[in-house]
Amino acid sequence: MYRFIYEHRHEFRVVEMCQVLGVSKSGYYDWKNCKPSERILKRDGLKKHIYQMYIKSQKRYGSPKITQILRYKGHTVTQRTVSRLMKELGIRSITKKNIRPQRIQSIVFLYPNLLNQQFKVSQPGSVWVADITYVYTREGWLYLATFMDLFSRRIIGWAMTPRMTKTLVMLALNKACTIEKPREGLILHSDRGSQYASIRIPKFTT
């Protein structure tokens, strides 16, 4: 978890990430000052890449495919190492027929890309950026949904659950709308992947 905070320290404020992930700021800085060995850092980095590929493939990729992708991206790694790290993560390839697709279509809609790759905004509250990532916690791997104000780069809403469902996204969105009331013309944006899209804001009573 501290590794996640360290790797995203230039994107988000450390104190806010510690709050979202339920860890102390002092604990993070104690971990940071320990300076783990290069070997441990490399292994942890590989495990993160492996898990990301595994999830993005909807749990279909095994060690041969993941090894191939890692090598293509410039990593020097053997299939045996990838297989061992997958065992440490507790993951393995699942055949396509056994996969149950996750559905969040009831709240996620594909709209034209209103942001059009223009990531500079002139005022706060005009664009919120949605994202879902996965972090390892004391409870195991959890999905972390966030909403960030693109102007201030401040996380204004977040939620964590074991599964990536519409409830996860709505919990984060509801929290964002509670912390910072949506203004007229607000654009909600995501990376427009197969499971992310521009999100319709819910109606709140005033």
Give CA–CA dist 119/116, Å, rounded: 8
- pLDDT recorded at residue 152: 87
- Is residue 73's pLDDT more than 80? yes
- Is residue 154's pLDDT more than 50? yes
- pLDDT recorded at residue 155: 92
Cβ neighbours around 197 below 10 Å, total: 21
What's the pLDDT tens digit per position in 3-62? 788 878 888 888 888 888 878 888 888 877 776 667 777 888 889 889 988 988 888 888
Per-residue pLDDT, averaged over 113-139, amounts to 72
Confidence of residue 118 (pLDDT cuts 50, 70, 90): low
Confidence of residue 193 (pLDDT cuts 50, 70, 90): very low
Lowest mean per-residue pLDDT among 9-13, 107-111, 146-150: 107-111
Q: Where do the CATH 3.30.420.10 domains begin and end in the chain?
A: 101-206
156 vs 35: which has the higher pLDDT: 156
Query: What percent of the chain shows pLDDT beyond 70?
Result: 76
Pick the CATH number of 101-206 from 3.40.50.960, 1.10.10.10, 3.30.420.10, 1.10.3210.10: 3.30.420.10
Give CA–CA dist 147/154, Å, rounded: 9
- pLDDT recorded at residue 119: 57
Phi, psi dihedral angles at 128 (to 5 degrees) = -110, 135
- pLDDT recorded at residue 156: 92
Question: Looking at the whole model, is its pTM more than 0.75?
Answer: no
Q: Tell me what the pLDDT averaged over the chain comes to.
A: 76
Query: What percent of the chain shows pLDDT beyond 90?
Result: 8
Phi, psi dihedral angles at 142 (to 5 degrees) = -130, 150
Q: Where is 55: in which H helix or E strand? A: helix 38-56
Phi, psi dihedral angles at 136 (to 5 degrees) = -95, 125
Confidence of residue 95 (pLDDT cuts 50, 70, 90): low
- Is residue 80's pLDDT more than 60? yes
